[in-house]
Structure 1
Amino acid sequence: MSDPIDRLLDAAESGKSIIKNRDILHFTYIPNTIQHRNSEQEQVTQSLLPILKHSRPSNLLVYGKPGTGKTLVVKKVLNKIQERVEKSKFPIKLIYANSKEETTLYGLLVSFGRQLGMNDKELPGTGLAISEVFKRILNNIDESKINAIFVIDEIDYLAQLVSKTGKDILYQLTRANERLKQGSLTLVGISNDLTFKEKLDPRVISSLGEEEVVFTNYNVEQIKKILEERIDEAFIPNSVEDPALNLCAALAGGEHGDARRAIDLIRVAGEIAERQQSEKVSQDHVREASLKIEENKEETSLKSYPLHEKLVILAIMKAGGSSTGEIYSSYKGLCKIVGRDELTQRRITQMLSEIELSGIISGRLIHQGIHGRTKKYKLTISSEMIKKTFKDDLTLQDII
């Protein structure tokens, strides 16, 4: 019986692989043709066209559920504009940041500054007030006479940061041109949350949503066509069985038409098939990939939480399907064990609502007659998953 390590290394050395180009199966890949999105491409291009005519475009909001091609289309339009701008003397800067990846307002603004070419001396990575960081960015735009387009992907996360900190950077961004003598700043917001605007200050809504483009969900047939195109480019011929392709499209199409999930599924299924040294990707590989992706998504989400959110999740786990008051009592006990000052019950109630949005916990209102109403929470994932994810956190080891 051959050694399992040698067997896998031999297969890798011999070049036995059914995936010939993995980059095509990554969500950052921008295909030459974006299927089923001609109208949306035209709308985004028309919104940003004024920049080529040496004038400032309107602020633009792009909406749609995850995996509907929003970021793909915006990036493709920006790339096309960039190609033409390089031949022009009109100074344009196209800047992109994902507010979900930047955990602080400061980090997001520094990301913009770095892409404008500002060094650590001009814009330190820490230590300034948010207002000072913003002022320096605007001074840079003014002095360089730059016409900047700031693209903020997952802008709903920035709105959450604004509500937590009370520093309304969105309002300042939308009104930046009032402070600029030369150059300009246009904001392009991309949001997965169709109700995103309802959470904003009315002053921001009027200036941010000057133009809007809504991306509708893909249907199963459209996802199948997108997958076929990616499979043709990424896999060797005839290495993905038709039932596997159909299952990928059905699984992703059933979940609000998420093409990104479909592409992830076929990529992970292909990797599983390769590890098993199968010559074709089958339905079983797709089912295995689906389970693996769900598990990884939950782990990544849990690991991203700050300490007190983790303590709240553990409090729910230990209290088990309990009311806000019972969870808070459990949380206070955990704070004592790990030697941390507890937050107020009001703040923990806010946290519960925020965690509920992620889908890791679910809550329902319970009517208690003359005692009014209370909300009861329970985990939507297993206790084992939480213990497994938190076990490497030294602060939590005594309470898991």
Structure 2
Amino acid sequence: MERRALVTDPEQHAATLKNLERAAGRMATAAIARMDENLSWYRNMPPEHRSWIGLVAQAGIAAFTEWFRRPDAPQAISTDVFGTAPRELTRAVTLRQTVEMIRTTIEVVEEAIEEVAAPGAEEALREAVLVYAREIAFATAQVYAQAAEARGAWDARLEALVVNSLLSGDADEGVLSRAAALGWGSPDNVMVVMGSAPAGDSELVVEAIRRAARHAKLHVLTGVLGSRLVVVVGQGRKQVDKNGQEKPWDPIPAARALIGQFAPGPVVVGPTVGDLLSATRSAQAAAAGLRACSAWPDAPRPVLADDLLPERALAGDQTARQQLVEEIYQPLDEAGSALLDTLSVYLEQASSLEGAARMLFVHPNTVRYRLRRVTDVTGYAPSDVRSAFTLRIALALGRLQAG
């Protein structure tokens, strides 16, 4: 930006410049003293940060002197003033505090105009201070904008690293510290939601997920990994009912609050776990469910990974196979051979009570009772088509494992 010479008389300009150079140190000291007197946040800062702020104030007055010397020359005020401070200072000092610091320094310089300006150059110097104040305000905004962009890019990389570690099973204590640096709290319920990422800028997708999560009062860590959008979701403290009993968390409403940000196609919700490190299990289950979801075209959206256990088992997911055996076959086996035999015959007889009763030489009510017991033991109702499919796969896997 071109600037006109603010003091047109060369002699006045030279005299004012000489006075500025002579008074720079004194004005910097006065500015620091006034900050210490008027700004409580400055007084409470660690000595290291106070010293850096003092250097910034000194650099600001020195940069003004140089700017006044050659107002037409292009200069990078942000580099001249803030280049002396470490990048960490933008974290320790907020933009509002920086504005207060600059305002205090400018006030000290303005108060010294009558003393510093050569006779007849007071108005010109005052105008110079006003113009410089505007320039340094823009420079301050630029410094904090650049810092925010850099911090945002770094946070995005760190967040993607955390999500990838959970997905790959490499989560350790380091993941907790990285997540804490990203603002992740300690929610009692954690799950992973996974689906296809929409086309377009991944940063916009991630920001849309964050907005939706804030609206739903959810904690999230998210990242676009290849073609997949992965969201680690946390819900605050455990909820209790009026009797003081813990209420189970339903993950589906939380997933629905975020589902609009996914591309068309299946969205799978991993099982709920108690902490971030355990979210590896949820992430791997969600990934396995997403791979197997094509085998169930009518699956709801979103769908729980545990509702996809039979498809996951058929796709070769060993965890799903073991879960079906442990949660269905083994409890039925332990409950007595009558339940296993009745369930097996019922499924083979196309879910016919009468047909199963004839094959077992029992009354249909006995079959009905045993099937209710199957539901009590496993949570799956043999009369439901989807549950019957899951039970059939579990029986087959259990028998194979039993040899």
Q: TM-score, normalised by structure 1?
A: 0.27
Which structure has more helix as a fraction of its residues?
2
**TM-score, normalised on structure 2?**
0.27
